[in-house]
Amino acid sequence: MSAPLLTSLAGSGGASGGDRPDALTVGPRACSREELLGAAGAVAARIAGAPVVAVRATPTAETVAAVVGALLAGVPVVPVPPDSGPAERDHILRDSKAALLLTGEPSEDEHAAPVETVPVDLAERAAWSGAEPAPESTAFILYTSGTTGAPKGALISRRAVAADLDALAGAWAWTPEDTLVHGLPLFHVHGLVLGVLGALRVGSRLVHTGRPTPAAYAAVGGSLYFGVPTVWHRVVQDPAAARALSAARLLVSGSAPLPAPVFRDLEQLTGHRPVERYGMTETLITISTRADGERRPGYVGTPLSGIRTRIAAEEGAEIGELQLTGPTLFDGYLNRPEATAGSYTEDGWFRTGDIAAVEPDGFHRIVGRASTDLIKSGGYRIGAGEVENALLDHPAVREAAVVGAPHEDLGQQIVAYVVVDGVSEAELIDFVAGQLSVHKRPRKVRFLDALPRNAMGKPQKKLLPPA
């Protein structure tokens, strides 16, 4: 059984993270753990009793203080991507019924948000002495895309977060002596749950580089580095930056498949075979290779402590849907009982939608996704349907079909096939970037006279011309 979440947030940290003035560095701003907890305590005092709060999740220390403050007060947190356009932002705020939007520097259009904004000031201080909320209570509502429709809010409990972070600390031998470095967004599991709460719970120092560029990673001299495969691909393209990571203890990749050539280039340039781990918003991280174990290109390792996996394969086949149970699983999608029920088997295992195989030695290999309508681009999960709907909101677009085309750097890139009345590629890309988070924009648009359809009139993505 893991220790409660609050204990770790309010604790004193370890030798490295503990009382250093730069225990937490986000971009240009460094603060001690005490300063962070003071600012978070002030946030907690302001929002205590609110049913749900949203946080505009810029890569700043204010975001960290806002999230920690909400967790201290036991108020569920909804991170909002800072570049999400009005359509996506307002959906998240309305669907979650967030009472307040916590924000460092309010953005220009923030006044248009359908909730009251509350500024977060790192100079404020208050001691928080509230009791630990129940482990089953919700820590986060994380919005994530399905194949169709708008993103759904996944309910993540405090127990799930604590269990996952403890299992990962064990697998990666993560200790207070580590300095964790990454520059990932603070609105997803990878950057926020692992990349911020992990460091706070373990007591290690954290350096968030603002953006995950090779030069910024190389400049820090940390011991533990997190990246999505796109980040590692960019690191190996920059041999000087890659070599600077040789002094690290562990390089960790996740959120999308790490291509074997990138694994090998990393080993050659840094001397490290990277740890690869697998996870999902709904399950947190569930499978990983270990600091003290074998790391094999193309494999994500073995289930973390407390997690059980199985492969739902057809008779005689070895490859099938990966299904999971364990303490890190979510508590369903907010207000969507049917979608929640549909994500579990009759006997209560979570259906990941990923196709996998397990070797006789227990090593798991993720083969792909069951549905091509969930795209992974730069480690971001993007539903084809959400992008299609955004395109169809443009008055000149009559039909739209969106796919993820293989891409060396991004894993997949979003390609839109459209039937339109006179509109340019750039205009459509900007239109989607303006409505949704910028990373959901198509990188390419192909213009067609008609979408290929079957006899029933359903679009046939398999018959689309190559991107």
Closer residue to ligand AMP, CB minimum distance, 100 or 184: 184
Angle at alpha carbon of residue 454, lines to 150 and 406, rounded to 5°: 55
Closer residue to ligand AMP, CB minimum distance, 132 or 267: 267
DSSP assignment of 188-224 equals SIIIIIIIIIIHHHHT-EEEE-SS--HHHHHHH--SE
Among 191, 198, 274, 301, binds ligand MLC (CB under 6 A): 191
**How far separated are the first and last CA of the chain, in Å rounded?**
49
As a whole number of angstroms, the distance between CA 167 and CA 164 comes to 5
Q: Is 326 left (phi over 0), alpha (psi -120 to 50) or beta?
A: left
Neighbours of 464 (CB within 10 A): 17
- Binding residues for ligand MLC, total number by CB under 6 A: 24
Residue 413 DSSP SS3: strand
As a whole number of angstroms, the distance between CA 78 and CA 50 comes to 13
231 binding ligand MLC? (CB under 6 A): yes
List contacts with ligand AMP (CB under 6 A): 144, 189, 254-257, 276, 278-281, 300, 352, 354, 366, 369, 376, 381
Report the nearest approach of ligand AMP to the CB of residue 280 (Å). Answer: 4
As a whole number of angstroms, the distance between CA 135 and CA 183 comes to 29
The tokens of 150 are what? 């708008």
Among 185, 203, 257, 327, binds ligand MLC (CB under 6 A): 185
Closer residue to ligand AMP, CB minimum distance, 72 or 256: 256
Among 405, 433, 448, 467, binds ligand MLC (CB under 6 A): 433
Closer residue to ligand AMP, CB minimum distance, 176 or 297: 297
Contact set for ligand MLC, span 280-299 (CB under 6 A): 280
Report the nearest approach of ligand MLC to the CB of residue 456 (Å). Answer: 34
Would you give the distance in Å from CA 297 to the centre of its chain?
A: 22
In this structure, the dihedral spanned by the alpha carbons of residues 447, 451, 452 and 453, taken in order and rounded to 10 degrees, is 180
195 binding ligand MLC? (CB under 6 A): no
Closer residue to ligand MLC, CB minimum distance, 128 or 299: 299
Closer residue to ligand MLC, CB minimum distance, 101 or 256: 256
Closest CA to 371 of 392, 399, 351, 345: 351
Angle at alpha carbon of residue 104, lines to 197 and 88, rounded to 5°: 80
Closest CA to 279 of 362, 165, 441: 165
- Options 7-15, 25-33, 268-276, 432-440: segment touching ligand MLC (CB under 6 A): 432-440
Partner whose binding site includes residue 212, from ligand MLC, ligand AMP, none (CB under 5 to 8 Å by kind): ligand MLC
441 binding ligand MLC? (CB under 6 A): yes
Report the nearest approach of ligand MLC to the CB of residue 314 (Å). Answer: 27
In this structure, the dihedral spanned by the alpha carbons of residues 83, 253, 309 and 412, taken in order and rounded to 10 degrees, is 60
Partner whose binding site includes residue 89, from ligand MLC, ligand AMP, none (CB under 5 to 8 Å by kind): none
Residue nearest to ligand AMP (CB): 381
Closest CA to 52 of 72, 76, 80, 81: 76
Closer residue to ligand MLC, CB minimum distance, 11 or 210: 210
| Helix axis angle, 86-96 to 425-435, nearest 10° | 20
Closer residue to ligand AMP, CB minimum distance, 43 or 366: 366
Closer residue to ligand MLC, CB minimum distance, 177 or 331: 331
Among 33, 56, 439, 440, binds ligand MLC (CB under 6 A): 439
- Site residues (vs ligand MLC, CB under 6 A): 83, 184-185, 188-191, 212, 228, 230-231, 254-255, 279-280, 378-380, 429-430, 433, 438-439, 441
